[in-house]
Amino acid sequence: MYKHSISSSRLGNYAVNHVLMVLLGLALAAGIEPTAGTTTTTTGGGVSAEQKADRVVALPGQPAVSFRQYSGYVNVNKSHGRELFYWFFEATKLPHKKPLLLWLNGGPGCSSIGYGAMEELGPFLSQKGQPELKFNNNTWNKAANLLFVESPVGVGFSYTNTSADIKQLGDKITALDSYIFLVNWFKRFPQYKHHDFYISGESYAGHYVPQLAEFILDKNKKLGKSHDSYINLKGILIGNAVLDDETDQKGLIDYAWHHAVISDSLYDQIRAECNFTQKNQSEGCNHAVDKYFDVYKIIDMYSLYTPNCVHLNTSSSRRSSAISYGPRLLSTFNHGRRSVSAGYDPCDSDYTEAYLNKPDVQKALHANVTKIPYAWTHCSDNITFWNDAPMSILPIIRKLIDARFRVWVYSGDTDGRIPVTSTRYSLRKLGLKITRDWSPWYTDKHQVGGWTVEYKGLMFVTVRGAGHQVPSLKPKQSLQMLQHFLAGKALPPAPY
């Protein structure tokens, strides 16, 4: 999920941001070891007491499965009482031999558990009626041990006991807390410490994933492989990703015009009034872009050719007004949206929200243990601004490529929010050498699954007919893509 607003100026709360950057520098200098008070105790057989306590035996309405699952809280700042909520699924087969994959949704301020785990790629998908969960035959834990975390604090079940923390959120603190979460999570689950580790996500996780990978890269260089906090990161996989403000915005408008979403006159007006290379935009530009977003009140921006949920005043159908702040013209906040599940129901998010607010479900998940004074929602209404966000993530992508990480970028080609056009513009801006140009890749029965461009150090994959949340509309193809990514193999270039 990628939330948006209309803003004529770059985010301004520089005083708070400056303090945050100073705190971040002090934390980095200190080494960011696991939070004090998180010493792991073990029970018989070497399993930590915390890990044993987090075991989820079964959820209400859950289909029977043979793999284990765990959920609970990991502290990332003891003095502030910051706790991130996670949900972890062991691989369906041979978990001790499979890699570990972390999935992050974006927003910023949206839940990886509500979207990623329960509506896209987790083993249990929400549905209407009884039972309330169904098994996902294309779950990504068929290929990897699968970890979801609600980040930053204030999202979903994650919380802080220091209310001022919510006003300091931004990219930097999110990466910092996510890193501390991982270090402490590996303390709780030491059996996965030496597994190959990958980070994946979609939308604003185009910021989260590369930034966390860079954080791990820099820390690993300082710590060395023998250090207890070394993380065995191998690569990243990001989809319909926010990468670069200029190209994201240019591609957003061009895609809408090319896909018959906006008129010639509005397209020409935006092109005349807006300069996407600039931080600040004119009133004329903002007015034109407002008219552009009006179109998406009647069709789904995130999946152009699928129906909207018709329920009124629900999590799937409501769209709150834009909030005029943020670091970019078409910025980071839009709380209302709907999703599409593997079985295709545009009202899936309603079922998820109802399910995760049930007391017996929260008890089974070890969630909401402090009785948070608000209901669980997909995207947090408490996060009302964002302190820092770079204009471009491309320099970090280059750094990860130079460090020889596996880097794949994919794009569902019916997404109007972070469209394939934006991603193609962004990748072109990297200036990488193309080693294999625009080529089809195939699923079974001689069907084209999409197209690939292989760059030196990066693989770009399109997924034909998928919207913003690729695993929802194209679950089989998304699992196939993941399997090839983890194996470091190109997708099939011919029918098989």
Instruction: Look at strands 233-239 and 197-202 and give their pairing.
Output: parallel
For the question of residue 415 being annotated catalytic, the response is yes
Query: What is the distance between the alpha carbons of residues 207 and 114, in angstroms, rounded to a whole number?
Result: 19
- What is the token pair recorded at 32? 């960011």
For the question of residue 468 being annotated catalytic, the response is yes
Per-residue pLDDT band at 444 (split at 50, 70, 90): confident
Give how far Cα 62 sits from Cα of 57, 69, 94, Å.
10, 12, 22
DSSP 190: G
Residue 39 has pLDDT above 80, yes or no: no
- State the pLDDT at residue 309: 82
- 189-210: average pLDDT: 97
Residue with tokens 């708070």: 16
In this structure, what are the phi and psi dihedrals at residue 71, rounded to the nearest 5 degrees? Answer: -155, 155
- 223-238: average pLDDT: 97
- State the pLDDT at residue 311: 61
- State the pLDDT at residue 20: 40
Query: What is the distance between the alpha carbons of residues 315 and 146, in angstroms, rounded to a whole number?
Result: 26
- 457-478: average pLDDT: 96
Q: Give the active site residue among 48, 112, 158, 203.
A: 203
Q: Is the dihedral of CA 185, 115, 104, 326 positive or negative?
A: negative
Query: What is the distance between the alpha carbons of residues 24 and 171, in angstroms, rounded to a whole number?
Result: 11
**Using an 8 Å Cβ cutoff, are 474 and 466 in contact?**
yes
Per-residue pLDDT band at 344 (split at 50, 70, 90): low
The tens digit of pLDDT for each residue in 133-164 reads 999 999 999 999 999 999 999 999 999 999 99
H-helix segments, 92-140? none
Give how far Cα 333 sits from Cα of 1, 100, 108, Å.
10, 30, 7
H-helix segments, 313-469? 348-356, 359-365, 394-402, 420-430
- State the pLDDT at residue 46: 61
Beta-carbon contacts of residue 338 (< 8 Å; ≥ 6 apart): 300, 302, 308, 309, 315, 316, 317, 346, 347, 348, 349
Q: Give the active site residue among 165, 300, 350, 415.
A: 415
Per-residue pLDDT band at 45 (split at 50, 70, 90): very low
**Using an 8 Å Cβ cutoff, are 317 and 338 in contact?**
yes
In this structure, what are the phi and psi dihedrals at residue 245, rounded to the nearest 5 degrees? Answer: -55, -45
The tens digit of pLDDT for each residue in 247-267 reads 999 999 999 999 999 999 999
For the question of residue 48 being annotated catalytic, the response is no
CA neighbours within 13 Å on the CB side: how many for 478? Answer: 33
Give how far Cα 293 sits from Cα of 285, 298, 299, Å.
12, 10, 10
Q: Which of 343-352, 353-362, 433-442, 470-479 has the lowest mean pLDDT?
A: 343-352
Residue 313 has pLDDT above 60, yes or no: no
- What is the token pair recorded at 429? 């801006």
pTM of the model as a whole: 0.88
Q: Give the active site residue among 248, 468, 478, 484.
A: 468
Burial of 170 (0-12, 13-18, 19+ CB in 10 A): buried
Q: Give one word for 427, left, alpha or beta, with left for phi > 0 and alpha for psi -120 to 50.
A: alpha
